[in-house]
Structure 1
Amino acid sequence: MPLSTFLVEDNSLIRHNLIAAMEDEVDIHLIGTASTEAEAVAWLEENPGAWDLLVVDLFLQEGSGLGIVKRSGRCRPGQRVVVLSNYATGEIADWARELGADAVFDKSLELDGFFALCAGLEAEGR
C-alpha cells in the first residue's frame, strides 16, 4: 500500500529530484507539497488524517520546518514526521525530535537511511 506523503521543500529542483527518487525507491502516493511553513500548516490543518508520511525541510522560503514539525497535528496512529535537511546537525536534530520528529536525516549524506525508513513504514502497511 503506498505511503500517502506530503513533502515540504522550498527548492524546486531538490523537490523534483526527491519526489522522483522517492517514487523509485519506495511506493509513495504524493498527496501534496508546500514550500513555506504557512502553506504546510494550513494544508495539515485541513487534511489531518490524509497523510502517512510528512517529510519536512528545516530552512524554507518563509518560516521554519521546526514550526511545521511542532504543529503537525497527528490524529491517527502510524503517521510519521521525518525531517530531511542539509542542516541535520546534532543539536538541530535533537531539537527536531523534541518537537515531534520521528527521524532526522541529512539529505546530502543520509538518503539511504531515509529510504530504508520509508521502506520499513511501507512494509508495516502505514
Structure 2
Amino acid sequence: MLTVFVVEDEPQTRRYFCECVAGATDLRLAAEVGTVAEARRWLAGESLGPHVALIDLGLPDGSGLEVIRQVRQQFPACDVLVISMFGDDDSVMASIEAGAVGYIHKDEAPHDVATTIRQVHAGASPISPMLARRVLRRFRVEPSPPTAPTADTTGMLLSAREQAVLELIARGFSYAEIARLQTISVHTVQTHIKNLYKKLSVHSRSEAVFEASRMGLLKSFESR
C-alpha cells in the first residue's frame, strides 16, 4: 500500500487528486493540505512519511518549493511530483532543482494519476525529452582532471545495455518505450535502472541524469 501526500490549495483540484488516490486499491491518502503552513505542521508530526507527495507550487502562503525541500530533507525516500499545468516547464525545472523527480498534470485521467504514482515509486521520473535536455544543460558540471572518467573506466562502470538505457532515461523515455526500443521486457529495463542507480549512488531519474552528466557518461547524448 503506497501512501500519498497531497498539497494543493485549489479545493476542486485537491479533491480530484484525493479521489484518484482513493479509487486505487493499492494507494492510500496519507493527508491533504492546502498551504505551506499546514504541510509543515503535518510533516513535523510524521515519523515515517509518505511514499509519494504531489505538491502544487502556487500556495497562498508561500511556494510549494519550500514544502518539496522539507519533504526531501525529512524523508529522502519520498518521491515528489509537482502538480503542473501543460507548458509550465520553468516551474517544473525549479521543482526538480528542489528535489522533485518529475511532474503530474492537473488534467490527467484518474487511471493515469494512479499509474504515474506507481511508476514514480518504482523508479520512473515523468519528464519530457525537452525538459530532460534542460536538466542536462542546467546541471552540467565539467569534471576536474583528477576524477574525469576515461573510456576504460566508463566501460568498466556501465555495460553497453546500461549505457543505452541511461541515454534513453536522459531523453525522457518511459520504461515501456525503453523496453520497446531495446527489444527487452519492462522488468529487464527496471533491473538495468536499479543497477544504474546503484552504480551511480542515486535514487531517482533526475539524480541519475545529473550524476551521469557530471561524470561525463552522457557526453555522446549531449553532443547530438
Q: Same fold (TM over 0.5)?
A: yes
Q: What value does the CA root-mean-square deviation take over the aligned residues? A: 2.6
| TM-score (ref. length: structure 1) | 0.79
In structure 2, distance between residues paired with 1:23 and 1:55:
14
Q: Tell me the CA shift for residue 62 of structure 1.
A: 1.7
Q: Tell me the CA shift for residue 29 of structure 1.
A: 1.1
In structure 1, distance between residues paired with 2:105 and 2:59:
15
Instruction: Call closer, same or farther: CA 1:123–1:97 in 2, change over 3 Å.
Output: closer
How many residue pairs were aligned? 122
**Could you say which structure has the larger radius of gyration?**
2
SS in 1 for 2:32: strand
* Corresponding residue of 2:30: 31
* Corresponding residue of 1:42: 41
Given that residues 6 and 17 in structure 2 are in contact (C-alpha distance below 8 angstroms), is that contact kept between their aligned partners in structure 1?
A: no
1:48-105 alpha-carbon deviations (Å, 9 max, x no partner): 423111110111122111111122134353x211111237612211110010001123
Given that residues 5 and 30 in structure 2 are in contact (C-alpha distance below 8 angstroms), is that contact kept between their aligned partners in structure 1?
A: yes
Q: Tell me the CA shift for residue 112 of structure 1.
A: 6.5
Greater share of residues in strand? 1
Structure 1 window deviating more from structure 2 (31-40 vs 19-28): it is 19-28
* Corresponding residue of 2:143: none
Q: Tell me the CA shift for residue 109 of structure 1.
A: 5.5
* Paired letter, 1:21: C
In structure 2, distance between residues paired with 1:8 and 1:107:
13
* Corresponding residue of 2:220: none
Identical amino acids, percent of aligned pairs: 24
1:5-53 alpha-carbon deviations (Å, 9 max, x no partner): 1111111122112211232256211121111011102211221423111
* Corresponding residue of 1:75: 75
* Paired letter, 2:79: R
* Paired letter, 1:117: T
In structure 2, distance between residues paired with 1:106 and 1:53:
15
Given that residues 52 and 121 in structure 2 are in contact (C-alpha distance below 8 angstroms), is that contact kept between their aligned partners in structure 1?
A: no
* Corresponding residue of 2:119: 120
Instruction: Call closer, same or farther: CA 1:69–1:110 in 2, change over 3 Å.
Output: farther
Given that residues 105 and 111 in structure 1 are in contact (C-alpha distance below 8 angstroms), is that contact kept between their aligned partners in structure 2?
A: no
Given that residues 8 and 40 in structure 1 are in contact (C-alpha distance below 8 angstroms), is that contact kept between their aligned partners in structure 2?
A: yes
Given that residues 26 and 122 in structure 1 are in contact (C-alpha distance below 8 angstroms), is that contact kept between their aligned partners in structure 2?
A: no
In structure 1, distance between residues paired with 2:120 and 2:105:
19
Greater share of residues in helix? 2
* Corresponding residue of 1:106: 105
Given that residues 81 and 102 in structure 2 are in contact (C-alpha distance below 8 angstroms), is that contact kept between their aligned partners in structure 1?
A: yes
Instruction: Call closer, same or farther: CA 1:36–1:95 in 2, change over 3 Å.
Output: same
Please, which runs of 5 or more residues in structure 1 have no aligned partner? none
Given that residues 26 and 119 in structure 1 are in contact (C-alpha distance below 8 angstroms), is that contact kept between their aligned partners in structure 2?
A: no
Instruction: Call closer, same or farther: CA 1:76–1:122 in 2, change over 3 Å.
Output: closer
SS in 2 for 1:5: strand
In structure 1, distance between residues paired with 2:61 and 2:6:
15
